[in-house]
Structures are given as structure tokens and as C-alpha cells.
């Protein structure tokens, strides 16, 4: 009997495969990169309007100058949701009055922001509790200034 | 049907034919194959940490400012949670769910003296000890005696009405006692490196407005220092063991009358009967004074950096919790620092060792560039704290030239183990591997090397990934590699203790500690993960600092210098 019989060859090649599997170089584990962070930016009412949930972009809304990314709550704030009027708009007055009507929005997008000076203490409190909830739940991705504000980005 | 049958029959014949050739040699081969498989199975071990945890070691915030990267944080303290600000000190018997105090240096010393205790406040072991290593011999100190010395010196300094005490000593118990006395007896401590020239020391004393200086007897020209430091009112000499018989109370003629001189061991001898061995009691949440260290940058400039106690405890907590539970210092550990206590990383690591009831060894030659082999004789430590330049030097001198066949083989076997994510054990192979470079050392018990790198240190001293692997293999110890910077107590970031990955080039510095948040500023659009290093958090003096260095975030979300 020679060593080079078929069964020996089969076993030897099996051995070689096992050894190769054991000693082959392994690349270290790498995870796919997470989504790139959103860049904080300064909005004016017209640029904020682009983020009303229609199309590819997310849903943003502003509360007292802070812009929140409410995309995770798209069912509420996006098109077709109960709060859809707020998408892409300054929602401060609406939240303070607990009202989702169109009248609550600042009509003139090129004008100054709503200064909310006429709110009753109860409404201010209301607004504050909304704001706290938003800060807990959603990310602040920018701030809202009026058009012509020194901080506003130059087109 | 018939054809199918005939194929089966043919196959059967073929198998029968093949097996008909079975012989002794076949049995041997089959036996070898089976025993190899059994060997693999028995030897297979889960990696020390899940590879995914090494693939993404810190979390980035979801929003970033223009021109900056997002903030990066340790996995322990993700965004939305507060960064680690304190030691969570609880009084014995406090309910488990209550959150503890941040603590300060007094808590660290008290915990060290008290020894390890269980949740119920019952002692579970003996308190650690402090050793001072002088050449080949180590002197053992009981913590009680050091408390007593601390009480004597603290009271004495109080009677001097000392506000700011500069300590310029080699690493020693007196050095440590002064730092803790500062917290208990209410004076600012300025830690000045001991090897400065008199003029530089004098300038630093002036700048820090120190009114008391504690220095090594005979190491300093007093008239020169006193001449330009009118605010200095007392000097306490610390005499070495061999020179205690001499009279050090002499005051140079030109400063007589305005400068008082006393000697540490004489004060202790005189007053020790008056002072107890007990740690002084204090009101929790009363503030303690700051500790100032000197940051010597590459250009030779020296900057005084005043760490508030909050910065220090935050850094100590960050360093403690950066280790998984089973790797933290414990009462069975002996932590040797061969890097000077005047630098914040070794200082905070020694504090964390004391807080975790480990024994501590201080070496009088400790510093940034010391001979690793010489500095580690005398004691048999389980943990060594060292600087990157010391380790780079040691690797260059001892490990690199060591390339015998046997140790190369052992190195290969071990590096395969490391690649699989397991730390090779101190077995026969590691004995073989360490025949050469570490044989003269007393490193049998070594389990952890803590190496720190100054952000502005000589880039030649930066350790490469391969060097870290060599250190792991030849010393048999795990390695953590930290990045330090001025105004950041402890470290900015530190590698994961289980991160054995062998990457190319200089090693990264791991994820940020849980006491800081890191972000890079001035990033370009083309390379969004490279910019100037900015560190913020409770461990940072005044909350935030920017370091003049370009850093980058690696693929595994760790910090690296460019």
C-alpha cells in the first residue's frame, strides 16, 4: 500500500482545508458608518418651509426660534397628520394656544417673526411645557431668524 | 429506474474502492485530523470583548455645527446623559438606590485608609500599603503613619497661615501626604517638577505666589530662590533617609529673619504624639482647595494649570470606569508609577488606585523619560503607569533587537491569539518569549500597563500598534494607551483594555473617557473627520479647552493625532 492512495489524498486535502480556514488572515470586524450628522443651520421662514415633509426631506418645525427635527413623529407632524399645519413653520403661537388652525401661523414669511408678546401667563406655561417635551424627544437642528436679520444666511 | 440504480451502485462501488485502500497511514492521518479538530475545539475561546464594541468605540451626536465634527462621547455616557462628574461616594448604610456625592481628595484618602468595605459597611479586606522604591529596595509605609505625618504637617502649615504651598519633590510619601494635607487643611497645592533649574523654579514660585515651599534638603540654593520670592515665608526640607543626621535648620544669612526653615522628619518626630492616626473629619460638600500642576510644552514653556477638585475627581472616576469591572484596580493590586506625580495622568491613576484600595508603589526616579528596566526592579507590581517615551525607548532598546527563532515563533502564536481577541496567558510559551528582554525584571505578576502620551510630545515617542502588540506579548500584560493634554485632568481618551487589534502605523488613542466630550473644529468639507482637538466636560478646567493639534476620528470612532 502506498501512502498516495485516494483515501489518504482525500483526508490530507481535508486537513489542508481545515488548516487554511484556521490560519487564513482575517480582517478585523468593521461596522457600517452611521448616518452623517445633520449640520446645524440658521433658517429663515422661507427656507424652513422646504422641510414640511413633502418629498424627500424631513419634517422640521420651529418653537421660539429653535428648529426641531420632528421626522420621527411624522405621523403627527407630517402631511396628513393632525398637526400638519405646523410642518415647516413657526409653531410657537399654535402650541401656546393649543390650536392647530392656520390662523395661528405667521402669514407673512418675509416679515418679522412672531414676538409672542401678547400671550397670557397660562399660554406661556403651555408653550414652555411643549418646548420641554420637544427638547426631550427631538433634536434641535437649527435656529429660526427673520429675513434680513444679521444672523440670517445670505442667499 | 435502472439507470438511477446503476449510478447508485457505481457510487457505492467507488466508495467501497476508496475505503478498501484504508491502511495504517490512513489511520494516522485520520487520527491527526481528528485530534487537530478536537484541539481547536478545546482551545477555542470567546474573545475578551465583542468585536462590534471595538468596531465603534464612541458615539457621535446626531447634529454638528458647521465647520465642526459632531461631539464624540464614551459609550458609557451617551448623549442626553450627564458626563461622569464624580466618584459617587456613599456613606456606609446609605440605601442602594441613592446617588452618592461627587467626593473630593479627602474621600479618596479616607477610602484608602478605611480599606475595602462591602455594601453594608463591613470591612472585606485589608487596606492597601504604600511602598517607596529606592533603587533595588522598597520601603513599606502604613497608611496610618502617612495620615499622621499629614496631620502634623497640615497643622504646622495651618499655624504658618499658609495659603499656597509649593511642593517640589521626587515621588515620595511626603509628596503624596502634602497633596492630601492640602485638601484636609485648606491650602492650595502647587506641584512643581523636581528636576527644574533654580531659576525656573523661582519663576514658577513667583507666578503661583507660593508662601511655603516643600523641597528636598540640599537640592536647592535657598538664597537664590528667596531673593526673587518675597512672598515666600517658610521652607520645609524633606531629608532623604541617608542624610537625616545632618542639621538642615540652617538659614542663609541674607534671608535670615524673613524665612523660616524646618525639617519634615523633625516636625513629625516632635509632634507625632500630639496628632492621632485618624483621618480628620469634615463636613461633606465643603469645598477643598485646588491642585496646580505644571505643563511643560514641547517648546519648553511652562504653564501652571490649576485643577479644581471637581476636575480631579471627575478624571479619577473617568479613569476608573474606563476599565471593565474585572480589570479595575483592586486590593490585590500593586500599582507602580514610574511616571512623575507632577503630571496629571499618573497623579489621577494613583488617586484611582488609592480609591480602589490598591497598594501603591512610588519610585524616586519616576519621570517622563526613565529606564523602564531599572525603574521596575525592587517591587513586583501588577500595574505599571508609564509614559510613552519611556516605553518607546524600552521597546527600541530591548524588544526590537530580540528576534531569536524561539521568541519569533512564540510572538507569532501570541499575535494570532491577540487577533482572535484573546489575551495570551502567562504560559510556557510566554516564558520562552520573555527569555530575553524582560528576564531581568520582576514582572511575573504584571497584568496591566497604563501608558500616557502628551499631545505635544515628540512624535518619535508615539507608540505604534505593533509596539503595543510587542508590549502585550513580551510582558504578558494588557495595555491601555492614553492621550493627555493641558487643562484636561487625567486623560482625554484611552484605548479599550481589550482592544488588541493590530493596525498599521501609530496607534490610535481610543475613545474619550466618560468624563469628557471631544469634538474637532475647523474641519474642511472634504475631510469632515479631521480638525483641531477641542475637549469639554467636568474633567476640563473651566469646562472647555482647545488644544493646538490636528486630530482625527478613525473608522472605529477612536481619537488619533494627525
Q: Tens digit of pLDDT for each residue in B188-209?
A: 999 999 888 888 899 999 999 9
Percent of chain A past pLDDT 70, that is, above it, reads: 98
pLDDT at A98 (0 to 100)? 83
pLDDT at B492 (0 to 100)? 95
The stretch A8-24 carries a mean pLDDT of 88
Mean pLDDT, chain B, whole residue set: 88
Sort out which chain A residues have CB atoms less than 8 A from B18's CB and list them: 6-7, 10
Q: Please provide the DSSP assignment of chain A as one string.
A: --TT-HHHHHHHHHHHHHHHHHHS--PPP-PPPPPPPEEPEEE-HHHHTT-BSSSSS-BEEEETTEEEE-GGGHHHHSTTSTTGGGTTSB-HHHHHTT---GGGS-S-TTSPPP--TT--HHHHHHHHHHHHHHHHHSEEEEEE--TT-TTSPP-
Q: Which of B14, B16, B19, B25 to mutate to test the interface with A (most CBs of A within 10 A)?
A: B25
CA dihedral B443→B448→B454→B458, nearest 10 degrees, is 50
Say whether A5 and B21 touch across the interface (CB within 8 A).
yes
pLDDT at B553 (0 to 100)? 93
Residues B365, B369: Cα–Cα separation, whole Å: 10
Domain that includes residue A53, residue range: 41-144
Asked whether B77 and B84 are in contact (CB, 8 A), the reply is: yes
* Residues 6 or more apart in contact with residue B328 via CB below 8 angstroms: B320, B356
Partner-chain residue, chosen from A7, A15, A23, that has the shortest CB–CB distance to B22: A7
Look up residue B238 and give its three cell numbers. 524633606
Q: For position A74, which CATH number holds?
A: 3.10.120.10
pLDDT at B177 (0 to 100)? 94
Sheet hosting strand B137-141, strand order edge to edge: B137-141, B130-134, B359-363, B334-337, B383-387, B448-454, B478-484, B493-494
pLDDT at A6 (0 to 100)? 82
Q: B153 pLDDT exceeds 80? A: yes
Mutual angle of helices B264-271 and B143-159, in 10-degree steps? 100
Q: B459 pLDDT exceeds 50? A: yes
Report the 10 Å Cβ neighbour count for B196: 18
Say whether B62 and A1 touch across the interface (CB within 8 A).
no
Residues B331-386 pLDDT 10s: 999 999 999 999 999 999 999 999 999 999 999 888 888 888 888 888 889 999 99
Say whether B29 and A6 touch across the interface (CB within 8 A).
no
Instruction: Look at chain A and count its residues.
Output: 155
- Number of structural domains, chain A? 1
The stretch A65-94 carries a mean pLDDT of 87
- CA nearest A143 in B: which residue? B65
Confidence of residue A129 (pLDDT cuts 50, 70, 90): very high
Beta-sheet pairing, B72-74 with B130-134: unpaired
The angle subtended at Cα B86 by Cα B550 and Cα B334, nearest 5°, is 85
Q: B436 pLDDT exceeds 60? A: no
Q: Which residues of B496-510 are buried (b: 16+ CB within 10 A; e: fewer)?
A: bbbbbbebeebbbbb
pTM of the predicted model over 0.80:
yes
Say whether B21 and A18 touch across the interface (CB within 8 A).
no
Sign of CA dihedral B379, B381, B387, B388: positive
Residues B498-554 pLDDT 10s: 999 988 889 999 999 999 999 999 988 888 889 999 999 999 999 999 999 999 999
* Shortest CA gap B28–chain A (Å): 10
Partner-chain residue, chosen from A7, A12, A36, that has the shortest CB–CB distance to B18: A7
Say whether B528 and A31 touch across the interface (CB within 8 A).
no
Residue A8 lies in a domain: no
* Shortest CA gap B557–chain A (Å): 10
Residue A118 lies in a domain: yes
3-class DSSP assignment, residue B20 = helix
Mean pLDDT, chain A, whole residue set: 85
Say whether A39 and B66 touch across the interface (CB within 8 A).
yes
* Residues 6 or more apart in contact with residue B238 via CB below 8 angstroms: B169, B172, B174, B214, B215, B216, B217, B263, B264, B265
Residues B364, B195: Cα–Cα separation, whole Å: 12
Q: Which of B52, B62, B65, B465 to mutate to test the interface with A (most CBs of A within 10 A)?
A: B62
Sort out which chain A residues have CB atoms less than 8 A from B78's CB and list them: none
Partner-chain residue, chosen from B40, B52, B64, that has the shortest CB–CB distance to A39: B64
Say whether A11 and B26 touch across the interface (CB within 8 A).
yes
- CA nearest B64 in A: which residue? A39
Report residue B266 CA to chain centroid gap. Answer: 34
* Residues 6 or more apart in contact with residue B414 via CB below 8 angstroms: B424, B429, B430, B433, B472, B473
CATH of B51-83+296-561, one of 3.90.980.10, 3.40.50.620, 3.40.50.12780, 3.40.50.300: 3.40.50.12780
Say whether B416 and A14 touch across the interface (CB within 8 A).
no
pLDDT at B439 (0 to 100)? 46
Residue A135 lies in a domain: yes
CATH 3.40.50.12780 range(s) for chain B read: 51-83+296-561
Residue A10 lies in a domain: no
3-class DSSP assignment, residue B558 = coil
Look up residue A68 and give its three cell numbers. 426641531
Say whether A37 and B62 touch across the interface (CB within 8 A).
yes
pLDDT at A1 (0 to 100)? 54
Asked whether B533 and B36 are in contact (CB, 8 A), the reply is: no
Residues B518, B73: Cα–Cα separation, whole Å: 7
Phi and psi for A69 in degrees, rounded to 5? -90, 105
Least confident of A25-34, A59-68, B124-133: A25-34
Residue A6 or residue B293, greater confidence: B293
- Strand intervals (E) in B321-438: 334-337, 359-363, 383-387
Say whether B26 and A10 touch across the interface (CB within 8 A).
no
Sort out which chain A residues have CB atoms less than 8 A from B54's CB and list them: 28-29
Look up residue B323 and give its three cell numbers. 476599565
Residues B347, B490: Cα–Cα separation, whole Å: 8
pLDDT at B110 (0 to 100)? 92
Residues B504, B469: Cα–Cα separation, whole Å: 11
CB-side exposure of B36: number of CA atoms within 13 Å?
17
Q: Does an H or E element contain B546, and which?
A: strand B544-553
Instruction: Tell me the CATH number for domain B130-289.
Output: 3.40.50.980
3-class DSSP assignment, residue B326 = helix
The stretch B150-164 carries a mean pLDDT of 91
Amino acid at each position: 500500500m502506498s501512502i498516495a492512495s485516494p483515501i489518504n489524498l482525500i483526508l490530507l486535502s481535508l486537513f489542508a482545508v481545515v488548516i487554511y480556514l484556521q490560519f487564513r488572515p482575517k480582517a478585523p470586524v468593521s461596522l457600517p458608518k452611521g448616518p452623517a450628522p445633520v449640520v446645524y443651520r440658521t433658517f429663515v421662514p422661507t427656507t424652513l418651509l422646504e422641510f414640511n415633509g413633502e418629498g424627500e426631506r424631513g419634517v422640521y418645525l420651529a418653537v421660539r426660534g429653535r428648529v426641531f427635527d420632528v421626522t420621527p413623529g411624522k405621523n403627527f407632524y407630517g402631511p396628513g397628520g393632525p398637526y400638519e399645519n405646523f410642518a415647516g413653520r413657526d409653531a410657537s403661537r399654535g402650541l401656546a394656544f393649543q390650536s392647530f388652525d392656520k390662523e395661528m401661523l405667521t402669514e407673512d414669511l418675509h416679515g418679522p417673526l412672531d414676538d409672542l408678546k401678547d400671550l397670557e401667563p397660562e399660554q406661556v406655561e403651555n408653550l414652555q411645557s411643549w418646548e420641554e417635551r420637544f427638547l426631550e424627544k427631538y433634536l434641535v437642528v437649527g435656529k429660526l431668524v427673520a429675513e434680513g436679520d444679521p444672523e440670517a444666511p445670505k442667499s | 429506474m435502472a439507470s438511477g440504480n446503476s449510478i447508485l451502485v457505481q457510487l457505492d462501488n467507488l466508495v467501497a474502492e476508496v475505503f478498501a485502500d484504508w491502511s495504517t497511514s490512513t489511520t494516522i492521518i485520520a487520527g491527526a485530523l481528528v485530534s487537530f479538530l478536537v484541539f481547536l475545539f478545546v482551545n477555542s475561546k470567546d474573545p475578551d470583548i465583542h468585536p462590534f464594541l471595538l468596531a465603534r468605540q464612541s458615539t457621535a451626536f446626531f447634529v454638528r455645527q458647521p465647520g465642526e465634527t459632531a461631539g464624540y462621547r464614551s459609550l458609557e455616557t451617551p448623549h442626553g446623559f450627564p458626563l461622569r462628574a464624580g466618584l459617587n461616594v456613599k456613606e456606609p448604610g446609605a440605601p442602594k438606590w441613592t446617588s452618592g456625592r461627587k467626593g473630593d481628595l479627602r474621600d479618596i484618602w479616607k477610602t484608602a485608609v478605611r480599606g475595602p468595605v462591602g455594601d453594608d459597611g463591613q470591612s472585606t479586606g485589608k487596606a492597601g500599603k504604600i511602598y517607596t522604591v529606592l533603587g533595588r529596595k522598597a520601603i513599606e509605609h502604613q497608611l496610618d503613619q502617612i495620615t499622621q505625618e499629614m496631620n502634623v504637617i497640615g497643622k504646622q502649615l495651618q499655624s504658618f497661615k499658609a495659603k499656597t504651598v509649593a511642593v517640589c519633590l521626587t515621588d515620595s510619601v511626603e509628596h503624596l501626604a502634602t497633596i492630601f494635607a492640602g485638601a484636609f487643611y485648606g491650602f492650595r497645592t502647587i506641584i512643581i517638577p523636581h528636576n527644574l533649574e533654580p531659576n525656573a523654579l523661582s519663576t514658577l514660585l513667583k507666578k503661583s505666589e507660593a508662601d511655603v515651599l516643600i523641597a528636598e534638603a540640599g537640592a536647592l540654593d535657598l538664597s537664590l530662590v528667596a531673593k526673587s520670592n518675597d512672598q515666600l515665608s517658610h521652607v520645609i526640607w524633606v531629608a532623604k533617609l541617608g542624610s537625616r543626621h545632618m542639621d538642615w535648620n540652617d538659614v542663609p544669612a541674607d534671608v535670615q529673619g524673613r524665612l523660616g526653615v524646618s525639617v519634615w522628619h523633625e516636625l513629625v518626630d516632635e509632634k507625632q504624639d500630639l496628632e492621632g492616626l485618624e483621618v480628620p473629619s469634615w463636613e461633606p460638600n465643603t469645598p477643598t482647595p485646588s491642585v496646580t500642576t505644571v505643563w511643560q510644552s514641547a517648546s519648553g514653556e511652562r504653564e501652571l494649570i490649576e485643577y479644581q477638585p471637581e476636575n480631579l475627581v471627575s478624571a479619577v472616576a473617568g479613569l476608573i470606569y474606563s476599565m471593565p469591572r474585572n480589570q479595575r484596580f483592586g486590593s490585590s493590586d500593586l500599582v507602580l508609577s514610574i511616571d512623575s506625580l507632577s503630571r496629571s495622568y499618573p497623579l489621577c491613576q494613583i488617586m484611582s488606585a488609592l480609591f480602589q484600595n490598591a497598594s501603591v508603589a512610588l519610585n524616586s526616579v519616576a519621570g517622563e523619560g526613565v529606564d523602564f528596566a531599572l525603574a521596575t526592579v525592587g517591587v513586583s507590581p501588577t500595574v505599571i503607569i508609564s509614559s510613552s517615551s519611556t516605553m518607546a525607548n524600552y521597546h527600541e532598546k530591548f524588544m526590537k533587537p530580540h528576534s531569536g527563532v524561539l521568541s519569533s515563533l512564540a510572538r507569532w502564536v501570541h499575535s494570532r491569539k491577540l487577533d482572535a481577541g484573546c489575551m495570551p496567558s502567562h504560559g510556557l510559551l510566554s516564558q520562552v518569549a520573555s527569555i530575553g528582554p524582560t528576564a531581568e525584571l520582576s514582572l511575573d505578576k504584571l497584568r496591566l500597563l497604563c501608558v500616557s502620551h502628551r499631545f505635544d510630545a515628540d512624535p518619535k515617542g508615539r507608540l505604534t500598534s505593533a509596539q503595543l502588540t510587542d508590549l502585550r506579548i513580551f510582558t504578558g500584560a494588557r495595555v491601555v494607551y492614553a492621550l493627555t493634554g493641558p487643562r484636561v485632568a487625567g486623560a482625554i481618551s484611552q484605548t479599550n483594555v481589550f482592544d488588541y487589534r493590530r493596525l498599521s502605523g501609530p496607534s490610535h488613542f481610543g475613545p474619550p473617557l466618560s468624563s469628557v466630550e471631544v469634538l474637532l473644529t475647523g474641519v474642511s468639507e472634504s475631510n469632515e473627520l479631521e480638525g483641531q482637538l477641542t475637549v469639554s466636560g467636568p474633567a476640563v478646567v473651566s469646562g472647555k479647552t482647545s488644544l493646538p493639534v490636528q486630530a482625527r476620528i478613525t473608522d472605529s470612532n477612536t481619537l488619533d493625532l494627525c
